């Protein structure tokens, strides 16, 4: 059994030996996630897309310039265009024409395009807030994945200690049997405990490998990357400043939470889009001009120009504007409902996080005391067994209590760290955990 255990535990190490492990602290993991996680990269690209759409929306309000030239050789039927004067032939041409021209247009008044630009800017603001929300989620995911990794390492350490104690008890039981103060059943019980402890160590090792893979994927790394966690599951992991009271925590969260800012921006974008549609009914004023040369030959071409002011007043488009405006108004009201609900959710997130932190801290104290008592119980039961005044069933029961106490201590520390991460996410400051 020991040989099999050694092989199973050494296999992951052999696979990773070709590559030096990546040493990763809790701060490193969060920092890497908020800068390199795939979801963050995609969100940054979407922000760039929104910025590009702002430039597209601004284009109708800016000057436009163009240059062009034409050449044609033409003949036409004068009768086809109503020319029937005496002396004018029916067929005119062929003749050449050369034309080179610079054109320019400038919008003087277009309230609809101005409103569409503001709507695009609101969308870009929302996209930036969405990116921050993705960063928050990535930071939280990385923090939790790291905590799970430290929990599996703590469980492996506990299982190793359990195996060591079980091996010592086997040796003690054999010595007691040889001395004639213990029955063979005590040896069998001790060996059974050793086998169970070694099996639990294999399971803990497997869980540790899976946690490493999950952490690598969360950070956008190759799943085969060997990772060495440099932080342990302690009360110093994932520190978060505790708010003075519930109201101050909610006020800070409303100010910091990017998902709330993103929802507000979406509502504002819908309202501005509705205003842009309403402004389509207003006149549009623009100036256009061109300057160039024109003639039957290039040497004989002369300068010509044109300046025009255009006024366009939309009257009716089959009530399409009304339908589009109603759609944007509904989107704005929908966003208002979501924003109101999100504000309530923020308060609930804060309340739950504060409750979980208080409960986890209390559980930590209880678990620490339970662990101390379980260690004392095992020590006393071993002394009684060594003295021959009790069988090793008492030691085995004490060992089982110690295993449960160790697991409870690990889970309480994990729950406390997890609660601190949840509080940071509720406050909208998960990205500052690093």
What is the secondary structure of 163-205 as a DSSP string? HHHHHHHHHHHHHHHHTTSS-HHHHHHHHHHHHHHHHHHHHHH
Is residue 83 situated within a structural domain?
no
Contacting residues for 321 by C-beta, under 8 A, at least 6 apart: 277, 278, 280, 281
* pLDDT value for 3: 46
Task: Supply the pTM of this predicted model.
Answer: 0.80
Is residue 182 situated within a structural domain?
yes
What is the secondary structure of 283-333 as a DSSP string? -EEEEEEEEEEEESSTTT-EEEEEEEEEEE----STTHHHHHHHHHHHHHH
Is residue 103 situated within a structural domain?
no
Decide: helix, strand or coil at residue 229: strand
DSSP-assigned letter for residue 431: G
* pLDDT value for 85: 79
Is residue 322 situated within a structural domain?
no
**pLDDT per residue as tens, the chain (434 positions):** 454 444 444 555 444 445 688 899 999 999 999 988 999 999 999 999 999 999 999 999 999 999 999 988 888 888 887 777 787 888 888 888 889 999 999 999 998 899 999 999 999 999 999 999 999 999 999 999 999 999 999 999 999 988 888 888 888 778 777 776 667 787 787 788 888 888 988 999 999 999 999 999 999 999 988 999 998 888 778 888 888 889 999 999 999 999 999 999 999 999 999 998 998 888 999 999 999 999 888 888 899 999 999 888 888 777 888 898 999 999 999 999 999 999 999 999 999 999 999 999 899 999 999 999 998 988 888 888 777 666 677 888 888 888 899 999 999 999 999 999 999 999 999 988 87
Backbone angles phi, psi at 89, to 5 degrees: -65, 155
Report the CATH number at residue 177. 1.20.1600.10
* pLDDT value for 234: 83
Is residue 4 situated within a structural domain?
no
Q: What's the number of domains the chain is made of?
A: 1
CA distances from 203 to 17, 155, 231 (A): 22, 10, 22
* pLDDT value for 398: 86
Q: Which domain holds residue 349?
A: 22-62+113-277+339-433
Is residue 256 situated within a structural domain?
yes
| Structure tokens belonging to residue 382 | 């071993």
* pLDDT value for 182: 66
* pLDDT value for 4: 44
Is residue 220 situated within a structural domain?
yes
> Contact, 54 vs 37, CB < 8 A?
no
User: d(Cα 193, Cα 16) in Å, to the nearest integer?
Assistant: 31
Is residue 88 situated within a structural domain?
no
């Amino acid at each position: 059994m020991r040989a099999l255990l050694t092989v199973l535990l050494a296999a992951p190490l052999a696979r990773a030996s070709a590559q030096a492990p990546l040493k990763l602290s809790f701060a490193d993991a969060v920092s890497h996630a908020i800068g390199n996680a795939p979801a963050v990269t995609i969100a940054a690209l979407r922000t760039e897309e929104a910025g590009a759409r702002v430039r597209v929306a601004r284009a109708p309000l800016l000057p436009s310039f163009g240059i062009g030239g034409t050449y044609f050789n033409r003949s036409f039927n004068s009768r086809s265009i109503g020319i029937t004067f005496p002396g004018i032939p029916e067929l005119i041409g062929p003749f050449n024409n050369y034309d080179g021209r610079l054109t320019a247009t400038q919008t003087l008044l277009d309230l609809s395009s101005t409103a569409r630009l503001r709507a695009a800017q609101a969308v870009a603001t929302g996209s930036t807030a969405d990116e921050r929300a993705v960063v928050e989620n990535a930071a939280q995911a990385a923090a939790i994945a790291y905590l799970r990794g430290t929990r599996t390492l703590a469980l492996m350490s506990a299982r190793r200690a359990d195996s060591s104690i079980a091996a010592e008890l086997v040796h003690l039981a054999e010595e007691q049997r040889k001395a004639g103060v213990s029955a063979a059943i005590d040896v069998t019980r001790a060996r059974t405990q050793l086998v169970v402890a070694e099996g639990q160590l294999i399971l803990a090792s497997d869980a540790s490998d899976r946690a490493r893979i999950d952490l690598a994927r969360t950070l956008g790394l190759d799943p085969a990357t060997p990772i060495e966690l440099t932080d342990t599951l302690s009360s110093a992991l994932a520190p978060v400043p505790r708010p003075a009271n519930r109201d101050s925590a909610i006020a800070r969260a409303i100010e910091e939470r990017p998902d709330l800012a993103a929802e507000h921006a979406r509502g504002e974008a819908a309202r501005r889009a509705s205003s842009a549609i309403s402004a389509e009914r207003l006149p549009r004023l623009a100036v256009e001009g061109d300057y160039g040369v024109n003639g039957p030959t290039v040497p004989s071409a002369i300068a010509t120009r044109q300046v025009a002011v255009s006024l366009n007043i939309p009257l009716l488009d089959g009530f399409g504007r009304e339908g589009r405006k109603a759609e944007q108004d509904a989107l704005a009201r929908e966003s208002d409902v979501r924003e109101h609900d999100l504000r309530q959710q923020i308060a609930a997130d804060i309340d739950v996080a504060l409750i979980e932190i208080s409960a986890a801290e209390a559980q930590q104290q209880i678990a620490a005391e339970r662990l101390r008592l379980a260690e004392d119980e095992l020590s006393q039961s071993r002394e009684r067994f060594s003295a021959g005044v009790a069988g090793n069933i008492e030691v085995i029961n004490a060992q089982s209590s110690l295993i449960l106490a160790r697991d409870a201590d690990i889970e309480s520390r994990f729950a406390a760290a997890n609660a601190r991460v949840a509080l940071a996410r509720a406050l909208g400051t998960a990205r500052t955990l690093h």
